[in-house]
Amino acid sequence: MDTKERLYEAHAEICKALSHPKRLEILDLLRNGESAVEEIAHKTGMQKSNLSQHLSVLRKAHLVTTRRQGLNIFYELANPAILDACDILKKVLLDSWAESGSLASAIRK
């Protein structure tokens, strides 16, 4: 496999990791800095077991990193630039909705 192919494969893996709404929500929560698992669970309303599966996907895609302090595990973005990519995609979606006459303006508020 050449370099270009490997790049496309890695890109696709990141896109797969971003393909679930809860994982996007987790990344957005980490926008403000690292958070403990309990805090992420509380803010997303997810059970810890389900949250753990999503965090594992994000970790395997190298989108988040972990730090252990005592019994607590903290997550943070591995590279905050991933938020730029998410924000661009969100803008494209909202622009598309606006063009089609949907309620994008209400979502932006």
CATH code for position 67: 1.10.10.10
Residues 10 and 55 in one domain: yes
Residues 88 and 72 in one domain: no
pLDDT at 45: 97
pLDDT at 97: 84
Residues 29 and 11 in one domain: yes
Structural domains in the chain (count)? 2
Residues 87 and 71 in one domain: no
Contact (CB, 8 A) for 104 and 92: no
Which residue range forms the structural domain that includes residue 101? 79-109
Whether residue 82 has pLDDT greater than 60: yes
Average pLDDT on 39-65 reads: 97
Reading the block at residue 76, the tokens are 């943070």
Average pLDDT on 53-68 reads: 97
Confidence of residue 101 (pLDDT cuts 50, 70, 90): confident
Residues 54 and 36 in one domain: yes
- Work out the mean pLDDT of the chain and round it to a whole number: 92
